[in-house]
Chains A and B, each alone.
Chain A
Amino acid sequence: MRKRTLIPILYILFLMLPIYWLIAMSFKTTGEILSGFSLFPQTFTLENYKVIFTDPTWYWGYINSIIYVSLNTVISVAVALPAAYAFSRYRFLGDKQLFFWLLTNRMAPAAVFALPFFQLYSSVGLFDTHLAVALAHCLFNIPLAVWILEGFMGGVPKELDETAYVDGYSFPRFFVKIFLPTIKAGVGVAAFFCFMFSWVELLLAKTLTAVAAKPIAATMTKTASSAGYELGLLAAAGTLTIIPGAIVIYFVRNYIAKGFALGRV
């Protein structure tokens, strides 16, 4: 048993190494970085972070990202709920085909949609808006949310619905007051995955935005190429993007393993 625990420990060390390096870099001046190698920051500085917190181009990147990610999560989960309910409770014409088609969208290479989305969203006047990115991400997140929620809903016996009708609940009231609390773990998992995929995606987010809704990811890539490797600043920006993810995982830490199995274990 003792020897075996070495494996997860080594793995976690491996995972933390690049992250440590990123954080260490963020506290160094670009001068120190370029002048040579140092394991710890020789001249510890908060300058990089100061720039990010004071320069609107930077901090608006974070705010924009959070806005469209939240928008997307809310929209995806909200429309996925009734759909998942339908798939889990009813048989209807074309239901299997529809479900399968939804899943194929999750399989699509984002690169295929880069140009078409650019044209599509420009043509409806949504280019460079948070809504555009939120809606675009729906392509991948809605099928995922429906699949997750359907899995969790399958675990709720139909008797619950029937009892509610017998007790005189109208459907909306039943859904909100009785059904939703029963599957709240599933809603949490679905929201988590929607957040996750929307937060990490770059290609579409960058393609559909220019200035107003520019996500932090795009701001960072611009810096990398144009300003000529402001590594310290880049590292600080990167470090800050890890924080929302860490917070979200912390909140779902007790459900993580089960959640990743999406209720299908």
Chain B
Amino acid sequence: MKTENQKAWFFVLPVLLLVAFNALVPIMTVVNYSVQETFGNNVFFWQGLDWFEQILRSERFQAALGRQFLFTFLILIIEVPLGIIIALSMPRSGFWVPVCLVTMALPMLIPWNVVGAMWNIFTLPDIGLLGYLMNHTLGIPYDMTQNPFAAWVTIITMDVWHWTSLVVLLSYAGLVSIPDAYYQAAKIDGASAWKVFRFIQLPKLKTVLTIAILLRFMDSFNIYTEPFVLTGGGPGNSTTLLSIDLVKIALGQFDLGPAAAMSLIYFAITLLVSWLFYTLMTKDDAQ
């Protein structure tokens, strides 16, 4: 039972200060920029909601947003089932378990630019392992710097390679917490493997899957470094996802107004969809 104690605010003060410094000040700046125009020399003109309108109407933004949703959608429908399947097929105990878990966790601890660079040299058409295999051994033309489809397949595969283990680890932790008696009872009840999954394993996985799906949604929606290092957003702008576009505008062109408006819209979409996901997935518990 928690006791009521307003002095607890002292405990949270350091956290509050640090996070507020990092969050509030920049956000205020961004809001500030988003409603003003500047031509330099710190002179600002009020623009109202013009930037927001401009961004929301711009084809460039809509295209980037569309690509971003497509990317996140593909990531989720591949990584979540794949992660669950791998977790289901792993032994529940034994010597190999820590070995498996450690090797699976490795991709997640590699700096994101190295992930992008790694896949870059891996997929070079004539001198990369995958590139060579595709083009010369299998005879399938593959060049992600020329072909948008190849670029998409590559960034999706790269992310699957990078993050599926998160789903695996979380699902695995959920699965090993199921007592043996449930499996024994299911055997006695004559339940098929599918029924065991549907009625015993899946319900117990709900908490960890919620965490996994939320994290993967957020991180894939906000992704920047890996695809940027891999494709630079190309060929053309076929793999220019939302973050990449934003950074181009903000740090590349220094278009403060549009960049700021876009930032706020971006953040708002992330929050909204995360909240939707979270509510949908936890609504059963409220019953």
Contact = CB atoms under 8 A, between A and B. Distances in A.
A63 B109 CA distance: 17
27 contacts: A17-B129, A18-B161, A19-B107, A21-B128, A85-B11, A86-B8, A90-B4, A92-B9, A107-B270, A109-B263, A112-B246, A115-B250, A139-B22, A196-B108, A200-B108, A201-B111, A203-B225, A217-B114, A224-B229, A234-B117, A234-B121, A238-B110, A246-B106, A256-B98, A256-B169, A260-B170, A265-B208
B132 interface: yes
B211 A138 contact: no
Interface in A40-95: 75, 79-80, 82-83, 85-93, 95
A119 interface: yes
A141 B211 CA distance: 16
A105 B224 contact: no
Q: Taking chain A's interface residues, is the majority helix, strand, or loop, or is none over half, making it mixed?
A: helix
A135 B243 contact: no
Contacts of A37: 126-129, 132, 136
A163 interface: no
Contacts of B266: 109, 111-112
A16 B22 contact: no
Interface residues of B, number: 94
Contacts of B264: 112
B102 A253 contact: yes
Interface stretch (B24-32, B51-59, B279-287): B24-32
B247 interface: yes
B105 interface: yes
A112 B267 contact: yes
A34 B124 CA distance: 10
A111 B114 CA distance: 19
A86 B23 contact: no
A217 B266 CA distance: 26
Interface residues of A, number: 97
A220 interface: yes
Given A104-B271, A111-B246, A83 B105 contact: no
B177 interface: yes
Interface in B74-129: 85-86, 88-91, 98, 100-114, 117-119, 121-122, 126-129
Task: Identify which of B86, B110, B128, B211 gathers the most chain A CB atoms within 10 Å of its CB.
Answer: B110
A91 B1 CA distance: 9
A183 B259 CA distance: 43
